[in-house]
């Protein structure tokens, strides 16, 4: 975080930082939009891009809150208990880590 504060000391640094965050976040968001129609986790990539943008832009933060609200309404409508939602997320994360470790140790990545 020291690099961020060092860059943002001047007005030009703040503008530069916002431009960099805008370019990186925008690129990730566009790649996520492409992944929505192509094979890949498009929704997750779009949310990651919005998360990057939300670190500097208030509009992206509002979009993230709206997206989270819609996702929670969809989960509530599906009738999945909160503890099961967390268990599924944790299980998916652990499974992803195990698959990555397996692929790494077998030399496939």
Q: Are 43 and 64 in contact (CB under 8 A)?
A: no
* Of 26, 67, 68, 69, nearest in space to 49 by CA: 26
Mean of per-residue pLDDT scores for the chain: 86
Residue found by looking up tokens 């503890």 in the block: 83
Tell me the pLDDT tens digit for each residue of 4-55: 788 888 999 899 999 999 999 999 999 988 888 877 777 788 888 999 999 8
- The pLDDT score that the predictor gives to residue 52 is 92
CA dihedral 1, 7, 62, 34 (to 10 degrees): -90
Q: Quick one: how far is CA 75 from the chain centroid?
A: 19
First-residue to last-residue Cα distance in the chain: 30
């Amino acid at each position: 975080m020291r690099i961020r504060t060092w860059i943002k000391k001047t007005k030009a640094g703040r503008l530069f930082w916002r431009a960099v965050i805008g370019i990186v976040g925008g690129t990730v968001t566009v790649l996520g939009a492409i992944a929505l129609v192509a094979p890949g986790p498009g929704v997750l990539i779009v949310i990651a891009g919005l998360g990057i943008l939300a670190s500097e832009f208030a509009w992206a933060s509002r979009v993230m809150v709206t997206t989270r609200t819609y996702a929670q309404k969809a989960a509530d409508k599906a009738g999945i208990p909160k503890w099961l939602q967390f268990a599924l997320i944790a299980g998916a994360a652990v499974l992803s880590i195990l698959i990555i470790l397996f692929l790494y140790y077998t030399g496939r990545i």
